[in-house]
Amino acid sequence: MHQKLQACTELLHGGRDPARHGGMVNIPIYRGSTVLAHSLEQWESRKQPDNPYASYGRFGTPTTRALEELITHMEGGYRSLVFPSGLAACTHAILSVLSSGDHVLLPDSVYGPTRAFAQDTLARFNITAEFYAPQMGSGISALLRKNTRLVYVEAPGSGMFEMQDIPAIAEQTHKVGAYVAMDNTWATPLYFKPFEHGVDISIQAATKYLVGHSDALLGVVTTNEHGWPLLRKGAYDFGQTIGPDDIFLALRGIRTLPLRLQQHGNTGISLAQMLSQHPLVARVMHPALPEDPGHALWKRDFLGASGLFAIEMRPMPAPAFARFIDRLHLFGIGLSWGGYESLVLPMDAPKRSASSYQPQGKIVRIHAGLEDCKDLMADLQQALQSAIDYLKVAESKPEAII
């Protein structure tokens, strides 16, 4: 009986077999389109019932297989497939189970590009996409129809970080024979085990924490045994593939994921706690904080927190807000997250149709990188103080403001 290993040990050793690759510690980068057979018998044996062309580089290499096997083990699922971006993983996971005339439910807090895909592209395929309030839990049963094929969940939600009662949603969804798909990018499989909570299809934008260095675009979808044939065929029919160099970078990143994610999470909570006490911050949106509306669900279902959260600023003139953002030295202004560097992203009010949230001030999404926490705190404090100083001058001497 093998000893049960801790996550950091499993991810260091999983997906590797040096003896098969000349003793190389890391899986080599296999580049190639043509895969030769040494006999007709071998050529015929490689054919698959639904894909006679399986022996071809588009369907993966040993580098690809190593990543897919490692992620399947992380997720606790049946099989995984890689995609060229996180959004590609989201869209193809959705398309894999939907047909013309089907109905799909998505949370109002879903990732913006996924929302746009559901509203615009699915409509062209005669698929009805409906958005629901993310907090409704088992109340999702009232929205399920005879033709509901998929319920999509994302926790915490993009932008406002609302939590969802995923086991309750899954229980109701499975009663009508529909699938549950989840965007699990924020927590990764280290901090949320999707298949233990009723999810059938788990999606990750591996661009974020799995790669971890902001140098590759990658998505991955893992399914249970029931969902695998649909995902596999759908991805192959659309010709989805990814270059081996990016896959290699993901394998490299995963080896240190437990250590990185722990620091991301700890720093993120410390920054969130500090910002919750600042006079210019109206609200902090982070489910690991006890005062957050979703904290109870996070504490029940999740094993940790990543470094991504958001704040709502108090109303202030645009120049004061610009002072705060522009005076930051350690936080870059940019999209994405999950890399080693800290980021801020000024955001517009989220698009909502089933729930409402109208922030009074600007929203800023914050990603806590791997810099020293004290340095990041000091950087935020000095930038916020610059905005305060601007407001004081504007109040006392309006003519002095340029």
Query: Which residues carry out catalysis?
Result: 58, 111, 183, 208
Tokens encoding 121: 């592209």
Cα within 13 Å of Cα(382), Cβ side: 11
59 DSSP 8-state letter: G
What CA–CA distances, in Å, run from 224 to 180, 194, 198, 231, 234?
11, 10, 10, 10, 15
* Residues pairing with 128 in the sheet: 103
* Residues pairing with 105 in the sheet: 130, 151
What CA–CA distances, in Å, run from 380 to 271, 324, 328, 337, 347?
9, 8, 7, 18, 18
Cα dihedral 351→220→186→175 (10° resolution): 70
What CA–CA distances, in Å, run from 30 to 37, 57, 107, 243, 246?
17, 9, 39, 9, 11
What CA–CA distances, in Å, run from 341 to 133, 336, 356, 366?
33, 11, 32, 11
- Give the span between the Cα atoms of 70 and 16, in whole angstroms: 9
Count the neighbouring beta carbons within 10 Å of the beta carbon of residue 213: 15
Q: Quick one: which of 353, 350, 354 has its CA closest to 136? A: 354
Tokens encoding 160: 């406002």
Complete edge-to-edge strand list for the sheet that includes strand 331-333: 281-285, 308-313, 363-367, 342-347, 331-333
Kindly give the pairing relationship between strand 342-347 and strand 331-333: parallel
Quickly list DSSP for 186-246. TTHHHH--GGGGT-SEEEE-TTTTTT-SS----EEEEE-TTTHHHHHHHHHHTT----HHH
